[in-house]
Amino acid sequence: MKTHTLETQATMTPKKAIQFLKEGNERFQNNLKANRNLLQQVNETKDGQFPFATILSCIDSRVSAELVFDQGLGDIFSIRIAGNFVNEDILGSMEFACKLAGTKLIVVLGHTSCGAVKGACDHARLGNLTTLINKIEPAVDAVKEPKDESLRNSKNLEFVDAVAVKNVEMTLDNIRSQSPILKEMEDEEQIAIVGAMYDLSDGKVVFL
């Protein structure tokens, strides 16, 4: 697998970028990693980088974007925070990645059985983690079913995963509403902003 260059990045489209990630995830699921020389890529990227996508994912140790999409050095910008939500710093990183560094795609990648989402479902409170969980709790409130409060907690994994999906959707909305730069780029079809969910049980990524 060749390292991305200015020329290959220039020919990339948002649609093609999504297809690249889908193909990479299929390789990952089938344990068929692309043939790439990482040390060679170190050398080829020493003077510059030309990634085609920016991926916001959770810090979960099982959900490394580079691995689950089978990408190498210089292929993607990877932003990680528990609960895969956005703040000003993350939005600034995305604006840099797309407007200045040329990526064609933003993916917000949630995952099943997310610990941060479980914490939000349980309204956990612990030091600085409390502030983080507060940012995910609107997604808990936005999921209306089940209405029975005894089922609206981390023990109900179906509820947890529904909140994780809603959290991805709300993060997409926040990107568009809080970053006029990215919204304009999307409107002009220079980039796409999409959500996806990773399944811890089988390694599959489903784009929403």
Q: Does 123 carry a binding-site annotation?
A: no
Q: Which two tokens stand for residue 16?
A: 């093609």
Q: Does 114 carry a binding-site annotation?
A: yes
Alpha-carbon span 78 to 66, nearest angstrom: 8
Please list, in sequence order, all residues whose beta carbon lies within 8 angstroms of the beta carbon of residue 77, skipping any fewer than 6 positions away: 51, 53, 54, 55, 93, 97, 101, 103
Residue 57 dihedral angles phi and psi, to the nearest 5°: -135, 175
CA angle in degrees (0–180, nearest 5) for 30-68-70:
75
Q: What is the CA radius of gyration of the chain?
A: 18
- If one counts every other C-beta atom within 10 angstroms of the C-beta of residue 177, the result is 9
Binding residues: 58, 60, 111, 114
Binding residues for Zn(2+): 58, 60, 111, 114
